[in-house]
Amino acid sequence: MTRWEETFPEGNALTGTDVLEHAQIAIIVIDPQGNLRYWNSFARELFGFGDGRDHRGSSMFELGIHEMERERATQVARRVLKGETWEGTFAVVRRNDGTWVHLRSQAVPLRPAASGAIEGIVLFAYEAMRNGRVEEQYGLLDRIGGRLASSLEFGATLKLVAEILVPQFADHCFIDLFDHDRLVRRVSVHAEGWSPPERTWYDIGDEVKYPEHHFVVKAMRRLEAVVVGDYVHEADVAPNEHSARVSAQVGVSSAIAAPLRARGELLGVLTLAMSNLTARGKTHYDGFDRDLVGAIASRVAVAIDNARLFEEERTTALAFQNSLLPRDFPLFDGLTIAHRYIPAKPLESQGHGIQTQVGGDFYDVIPLSAGRVGIVIGDVEGRGPHAAAVMGQLRAALRAFAQADREPADILRELDEWVRRLGQPDASGGTWVPSVSCLYLVYDAWSRELTYANAGHQPPVLICDGRVEDLELDVHDMLLGVKSKGLPYDDAVYHQGTSTLPPGATLLLYTDGLVERRPAGGRVDTGKALDHLHERVREVAGKDVERIAEAAVAAVPGEIEDDTALLVVRTHPESLAIEEGWFLAEAPTVSEARHLASDTFSAWGMDRSQAELACLLVSEIVTNVVIHATPHPVTREFTTEGVRDSSEVQDSGGLGAVDDFDEDWSDLLEEAATAPDDSPAREFLIRLRRGASTVWVEVFDHDLRLPRIRSAGADDEGGRGLYLVDQLASRWGSRPTPDGKAVWFEIPMYAAD
């Protein structure tokens, strides 16, 4: 026979094609471009080509070559196309059932005599370990070591062990690990998708208890592998009667138990068994198999120990990261919030190790004065504990600045200076300062006004009326920590912008890890990722914020190579109410402001006791405003000689009269009421806000001085107004405004039960 279609001599009708089709080995022809050109019947069964589709012309990876093997397969193909031959073991995933098997293979060049040139590759393959050849077993041992070295995640490592050994070397694989003094089953895998009946063999998570003389106990006690060559005729091999009955039904014929020991500590035990689930030439383990499994167990133990250490460090790192981020937020009137933090996937293959588990992404929602909220999201450059530590300090500083009611642009300016102080010496002798993106917004749910400053962060996604688009931000300044001296003014300062959200709007704020995901075998495409994000969010735009957050996390395919922070904020102002009024800064208006407050609180259904308490606090704050914001401000000067009122003038030298210190302001209020009105009267604004269960009161005036609690003597009749506000209100404070200040307090609508 010289060609596939020629017959055998002496009249035999068997052709070359018949030989190839009936050969009990997979034969595959691959062209120089790596595409499939021919495969025989055995290859079709071995690789699971049972879908009826013609795979001719498909890539050789259609054979099911495992992702971890593809680079190696490509290198082998290049060598063979240069005229070399190759023999070894590689893993494939069957197309029909998804099982993972090792194949013993040989690849040789395809060199037709007519041309003499190499025109492809001929691959011969069969399933390893079926006939028990020694070189195949040691080849499998080498592959197991290489595979286990590539995994650091505990669960993935255990799964990897089972996939390697079943059905290549066993029909059943069990891994039992110690949890303190309890032996717990962690892996239970069987060939052909078989599962034992309930409550017969131990299941995953069950505590495993073997009889004293069981071969598994002997393996752990002796710290060496123990083989049961003939399971049927061996005594005390089953833990209980139910287990023995199922073992007989499935035809368990042989078993091996090998201790899992690393760093001098017994971690557990690996048990393998053969049965009738798969047909194999060898049905019983022997001494060589025992030694092989012992060697495999030592590698498995080291991999499990490494994975456990990695998981412990990862858990510690993530706990550190999560401790720096808010776990839950209080209820905010007019807002519903969902938040997520997704750590990066371990990148051990790139040598970064545990440092890839933490990063500098952060978010926060901060209660501000009078029901307003500060919303922040940002990303510190780099990964590792230092990035997380910088993030924690930055978030704490931002929260402090925000709760002092600083303007967004002022806060970013302060943070920029703060980031510079967190720099570290670098290898060149300079100072490495991390760069930080940060978007800080102040949202007023009653007016739907958004005031913001932006240090190089991507804009939020606006979701409203079925539309999903980026929120248009007019301000986009430089990252924190990157500014240098000598920049133009517009580049050296942080600016501030305002925007009004439409009713019922939802904002999705995120860091770049959400859209900078790398598809398998592809490149990061931020534009396409944003399209995916918008499309997926649009599908759930009418759902609750938790559903939107989940959809956003899963919207972009690919590996999570950078940690991600995400906030979803939905506005619903329908549960809010507001009332306000302008008043002249005169003594009679104190009662008028109180009447406005009393009528409003009554209309809102506030508890009578709480309404009276709130009206008392309104009187105290408005009285203070009238005194200090009168058209003829009445001031007191504290000197070493005593207290001088600006309205008291003595004949001697025009100096104010000297009095002992007195914080009774009633005389000043009377004086303000009787002062001649020869200049434009100043006004103040009182604004009342109602939330779901809280009322806020704000009083705005044109005096730039911020109030503070003063110390009143035991016999003083005044000087206790702000002290009362501090003691009786849930919260209170003051903040500068462009033309003065605002004093505010918060009080519950309903008395505590």
Fold match between domain 329-574 and domain 576-748: no
Tally DSSP H helices, then E strands, for the chain: 17, 29
Q: Sign of dihedral through CA atoms 244, 247, 253, 254?
A: negative
The domain made up of 576-748 has a fold known as: Heat Shock Protein 90 (3.30.565)
Scanning the structure block, which residue is given the tokens 């005169």? Answer: 586
Which residue's structure tokens are 């450059």? 381
* Amino acid at position 543, single letter: K
CATH of domain 16-127: 3.30.450.20
* Token pair listed for 573: 């102002």
So what's the pLDDT on residue 573? 75
CA 634 to chain centre: 57
- Percent share of the chain, pLDDT over 70: 79
CATH number for the segment(s) 329-574: 3.60.40.10
What single DSSP character describes residue 357? G
Interhelix angle 134-149/287-323, rounded to 10 degrees, is 10
pLDDT for 50 equals 65
Three-class SS of residue 301? helix
Residues with Cβ within 8 Å of 311's Cβ and at least 6 positions away in sequence, in order, are 153, 154
For the chain, the helix, strand and coil percentages under 3-state DSSP, each to the nearest 5:
35, 25, 40
CATH topology classification for 137-314: Beta-Lactamase (3.30.450)
Domains in the chain: boundaries: 16-127, 137-314, 329-574, 576-748
DSSP result, 144-203: HHHHHHT---HHHHHHHHHHHHTTTT-SEEEEEEEETTEEEEEEEEEGGG--PPTTTSPP
3-state secondary structure of 269: strand
Supply φ then ψ for residue 466, to 5 degrees. Answer: 80, -10
| Peptide bond preceding 346 in cis form (omega within 30 of 0) | no
Cβ contacts of 213 within 8 Å, gap of 6 or more: 236
Terminal-residue alpha carbon distance, the chain = 100
Query: In whole angstroms, what is the distance from residue 562 CA to residue 554 CA?
Result: 14
φ, ψ for residue 358, nearest 5 deg: -125, 155
Are residues 153 and 310 in contact, defined by beta-carbon separation less than 8 angstroms? Answer: yes
Q: Which residues of the chain have pLDDT under 70?
A: 1-14, 50-52, 67-68, 93-100, 128-143, 146-147, 149-152, 232-238, 345-358, 384, 427, 429, 484-492, 520-522, 629-681, 710-720, 753
Report the 10 Å Cβ neighbour count for 487: 11
Residue 563 has what pLDDT?
83
Please tell me the predicted confidence (pLDDT) of residue 606.
93
- List phi, psi (to 5°) of 497: -130, 165
- What pLDDT was estimated at residue 641? 54
Q: How confident is the model at residue 537, as a pLDDT?
A: 93
Three-state DSSP class for 8? coil
> Distance between CA 381 and CA 629 in Å, rounded?
48
The confidence score (pLDDT) of residue 545 equals 93
Q: Which of 386, 397, 327 is nearest to 358 (CA)?
A: 386
Please tell me the pTM assigned to this model: 0.62
- What is the token pair recorded at 158? 């255990």
For every residue of 93-157, which 3-state class applies, written as one string?
ECCCCCCEEEEEEEEEEECCCCCCCCCEEEEEEEECCCCCCHHHHHHHHHHHHHHHHCCCCHHHH
What are the tens digits of pLDDT across the range 473-490?
A: 998 999 998 876 656 656
pLDDT of residue 471: 93
Q: Are strands 577-584 and 683-690 parallel, antiparallel or unpaired?
A: antiparallel
Question: DSSP secondary-structure letter at 83?
Answer: T
What is the Cα–Cα distance from 140 to 129, expressed in whole angstroms? Answer: 8
pLDDT at 675: 55
What separation in angstroms does the CA of 86 have from each of 63, 76, 80, 302? 18, 7, 7, 31
Rounded CA Rg of the chain: 39
